[in-house]
Amino acid sequence: MKKLLMIIALMITTQVHSRTFFEHPNQLIIATKKDVKLMINNLFDKDLSDLVEVKKISKFGHYLLSSSPAIELKKFMDDFKSMTEVEWVAANRVYEGEYREMEPNDPVFSKQLHHPIISSEKAWDIATGEKEIVVAVTDDGFRLDHEDLKDSWYSNPNEIPGNNIDDDNNGYVDDVTGWDFNEGDNSPMSDSSAGSHGTHVAGIVAAGFDNGIGVTGFGPKIKVMPLKFYGKNTWTSAMVLESYTYAADNGAHIITTSYYIDNFVGDQAYEKALSYAYEKGLILFNSAGNGGARQSKRTEFKKLILVASSKTKAAWGSKPDQKSSFSNYGRGVDITAPGDPIHSTGRSLNYVDMSGTSMAAPNAAGLAALIWSVHPDFNRDQVVAKLFGSVDDIDGLNTKYKNLLGSGRINALKAVKDDLPQTSIRDSWYDRDKKTFNLHLKGALDPKTFNRRGGIVLKKRGTEEAINAVIENEYFLATNVLVLKVEELGTYDLVMKSSAFVDPFGQELDGDSNGNPGGDFTTSFLVR
């Protein structure tokens, strides 16, 4: 009997955490500025073209095409690709299983322990912000009527509530307080199937500030745009794309998502969603993941800030600021924030503890929003540089994970001060398998002035000629490692010119790591 119960328990656990995806055979996502119906009519006979439904999912020419099984639309992807008026086309992926990254805890274990750890109260003594910053939370629903969230929601100023008219002509009728992309209506409220995750995340970012109720978010000027993209209906690429483009087009400064996205690698629609929002100037956060894995697949997304989780309390021999046992890590992780456990708003109009990188990501996003609110003159890149450069180094408490938890653990006090952060090289190494030399950054460079050529000089010992090395990879704000291809055997001396690499504030690289801008980074390495 015990063996049978163990097998049943294992089956249940496997089912709960199983995550799969497939490409819908009868759906395509297409980007074009032209008449989609005309394209369909040109491609199919009239009897078949009438079976293709077209749904516009952004005002800038993104459409979801759905057909009856008789057509199997996916087979015609190459035909659409060959049309000159089509910018891109992708299959609509369907994601099945549990993608939220949380571990619920008993609500009596603790209260808000994370704010003292990151010195939020001391930060608020200096400034609480002056500019309204909108954080789009993409999640499973929200208790809009929670007592500690009633004043936290972003309200669309260009939409008149309840008149059943798309007043601002953005394609969404009565989208006063966010949107439900999972069910296609203007109510992102939680329901019987979902909402505990989104409500908790929203409270971490922007629960009522100094209102004498419940918990607190990061500042009085921070608002949440509630975007429900996960719920009772099947979760798809189109829902994710539509939610990200909506946020970028309708006033959001930041998007935070706390979902398992390893399966999104190779999803063209998701990659387009990231690029669209990034190029519109938004900061994009996602949970680093709860699998305890090193360098998970999602680290391939370089426009996305991945947030690892640290502990907020001592338990079973662990200490605050140690990496949460469940948290992913690696050189592709960008930053760490408290996430284990976090006390925040609950779906049942209460307050609960939850743990997960799902809780860490909104803590980082909330602090980024506070930085932007306190420094309204900062641009997006400067906010990220300040966030990365104002951390506490927790490697001493995490010796097994040295250089694998991003820039460090967020610190609100340092983040709101006027001191400018420095960008430096935290580590470098030669990868024999890939034949590359790697420079691990601490902080952020300026993507606008970044040049892959001319800033790094390599000289092989025993030769007279020095060469200007070419950086293999592009640089985005969430790029942590610069990669050089070095294949020829020998010992090399490297000089990284500080003047060639500046941060978003215009400061030179702190190459000699003395705490001040300037000073070349120099090192030697062996290829054998």
Q: Is 6 helix (H, G, I), strand (E, B) or coil?
A: helix
Known catalytic membership, residue 139: yes
Distance CA 196, CA 345 (A): 9
What residue type is 478 in one-letter code? A
* Surface-to-core class of residue 6, CB atoms within 10 Å of its CB (0-12 exposed, 13-18 middle, 19+ buried): exposed
Residue 268 phi/psi, 5° resolution? -60, -35
Give me the catalytic one of 243, 287, 327, 358.
Answer: 358
Residues 6+ apart with CB under 8 A from 376: 130, 131
Q: Is 180 helix (H, G, I), strand (E, B) or coil?
A: strand
Give me the catalytic one of 24, 58, 119, 139.
Answer: 139
Residues 6+ apart with CB under 8 A from 316: none
Distance CA 348, CA 358 (A): 19
Distance CA 207, CA 150 (A): 9
Place of tokens 């250089």: 403
Closest CA to 243 of 284, 201, 300: 284
Distance CA 206, CA 146 (A): 12
Give me the catalytic one of 24, 115, 197, 343.
Answer: 197
DSSP, residue by residue, 17-39 = H-EEEEEEEEEEEEEESS-HHHH
What residue type is 364 in one-letter code? A
Distance CA 239, CA 228 (A): 9
Sheet containing 305-311, strands listed edge to edge, beginning at the edge strand earlier in sequence: 179-180, 222-228, 133-139, 254-257, 283-287, 305-311, 335-340
> How far, CA to CA in Å, does 197 sit from each of 16, 201, 233, 345, 407?
16, 6, 16, 10, 27
Residue pair 334/406 in contact by the 8 Å Cβ criterion: yes
At 306, list the tokens: 């991945």
Residue 310 phi/psi, 5° resolution? -120, 160
**Catalytically active residues, by annotation:** 139, 197, 358
